[in-house]
A and B are shown apart, each in its own frame.
Chain A
């Protein structure tokens, strides 16, 4: 088979079939309704996928500013308080010689949310305006965005562990700060964003572009 023929084939929405995304039952007809097998709501495509994804992506992007600007935690040692932002925490780890951990935290807290927001923006733009793209590659980008998202909560869990562990009165004390709220919200919002996106739209767009010539 050539590369082009692999990209063709019978498509559910064109032959009047829809799929339940919960139990993957194939259902005759394209009217939105409920899955006869599992009872979950079904539609041929996730309703309003692009506008919802945009809404979450824009919310996440706006929250990036407080998430990175505000301190996420403060460390008090013998009466002296230092605050750390996300990048500050990475830098502290780097300075104390923990390069591998610094990279890990940097990837989880900065690179992953960045890739997610940029990736979802690219996905939405491709579905809306894309002309010349490889749908297989775009689908792989979607899978990457979808898979990596949850690892960003690493920093939130780290904060919760440190706060509980280092609570020794005036000797040493770690407290959460408002940036943590913004940061956790960014992660949750990007998770909602990638769940609102429907990768089948990539292939719909591809077919439309091919048909238009």
Chain B
């Protein structure tokens, strides 16, 4: 999908109007951002916004996140284990200490 984020009141207003007028192309609307369908028309709207508001518009192309393809096994397994922990108040790093689960700082450093 195309993620459009706006950074000024006017750009936000244009995006809102575009979303209102082209509901078929909008997957999801947020306050000042929207996800557009990945069609030529979605691209057309994104290009128009970028043309009109240049620096106040950010357009990203998003993909569904597949944790089995996009994240290392250790990360996925750590997340699952942590969410199923017995004591809900344990912070992650204390939970991970002394186990094979990666440290949060180490994960922050490593790009996917």
Chains A and B form a bound pair: no
Binding site for A on B (CB under 8 A): none
Q: Which residues of A contact B (CB under 8 A)?
A: none
